[in-house]
């Protein structure tokens, strides 16, 4: 990449902000009938679509500047797959955490503490579904599997030999949406350590629960991203 690091950093801050703000605010709005009376009837379909469309919008906005990664797990996967220079990894990750944290703070300023903490939503934070027989195990596995799908969509659709580069943004966005539809009721389907960190950090103002389980949304996506990098190297290897 030949863009100045400052431009890349700002692009990743903006794109991650867009993704996290739209997605988590959609969760908050759809969980609070005082904000949107029909919200509680929308469910994962609405939330998944919000995240997916936000990702497509972020890619369209700054994809030509930074590659529109917006996700520390995918950043590490790109590096492991030989697609991102070592000297840009930390800048990407820092920008993504900054963007996600700003997004959660802005969301709180807009909806207020009452709506932000309503029904345990905590600004769209992720926590395991404790009604499952093994909620922690299920959540970690869901985050690994979902992030593997998402990262493979990124790596495969943007590979130089891929014929899907023209519609890569749509494909990646729809994979994110579909993963949320499938796994959102298990772990919340974060698939992104920055996306979970921002809301969990800001939610400390009124609830410590999300930050307690943050390790799931750090370890699971990183493992899933690295698994995808391995699969990518095996599948797309050149003779």
Higher pLDDT, 27 or 164: 27
Q: With 70 as the cut, is the pLDDT of residue 11 above it?
A: yes
Lowest-pLDDT choice from 10-19, 30-39, 221-230? 30-39
The pLDDT of 93-103, averaged and rounded, is 98
pLDDT category at 26 given cuts 50, 70, 90 is very high
Higher pLDDT, 40 or 221: 221
Lowest-pLDDT choice from 26-35, 186-195, 212-221? 26-35
**pLDDT given for residue 163 in this prediction:** 64
Q: With 90 as the cut, is the pLDDT of residue 32 above it?
A: no
**pLDDT given for residue 132 in this prediction:** 97
**pLDDT given for residue 167 in this prediction:** 73
**pLDDT given for residue 96 in this prediction:** 98
Q: With 90 as the cut, is the pLDDT of residue 239 above it?
A: no
The pLDDT of 137-144, averaged and rounded, is 98
Domains present along the chain, CATH in parentheses: 5-235 (1.20.1080.10)
Q: Is the dihedral of CA 154, 23, 226, 102 positive or negative?
A: positive
């Amino acid at each position: 990449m030949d863009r100045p690091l400052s431009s890349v950093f700002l692009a990743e801050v903006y794109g991650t902000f867009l993704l996290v703000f739209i997605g988590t605010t959609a969760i908050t709005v759809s969980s609070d009938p005082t904000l949107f009376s029909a919200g509680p009837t929308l469910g994962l379909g609405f939330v998944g679509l919000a995240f997916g469309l936000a990702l497509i919008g972020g890619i369209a906005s700054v994809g030509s500047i930074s590659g529109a990664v917006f996700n520390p797990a995918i950043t590490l996967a790109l590096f492991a797959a030989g697609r991102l220079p070592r000297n840009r990894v930390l800048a990407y990750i820092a920008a993504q955490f900054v963007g996600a944290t700003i997004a959660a703070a802005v969301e709180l300023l807009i909806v207020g503490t009452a709506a932000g903490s309503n029904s345990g939503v905590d600004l769209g934070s992720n926590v395991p579904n404790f009604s499952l027989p093994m909620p922690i195990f299920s959540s970690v596995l869901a985050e690994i599997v979902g992030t593997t799908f998402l990262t493979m969509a990124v790596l495969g659709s943007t590979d130089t030999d891929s014929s899907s580069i023209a519609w890569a943004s749509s494909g990646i966005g729809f994979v994110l949406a579909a993963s949320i539809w499938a796994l959102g009721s298990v772990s919340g389907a974060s698939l992104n350590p920055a996306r979970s960190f921002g809301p969990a950090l800001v939610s400390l103002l009124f609830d410590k629960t999300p930050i307690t389980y943050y390790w799931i949304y750090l370890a699971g996506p990183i493992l899933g991203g690295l698994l995808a990098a391995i699969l990518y190297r095996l599948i797309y290897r050149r003779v």
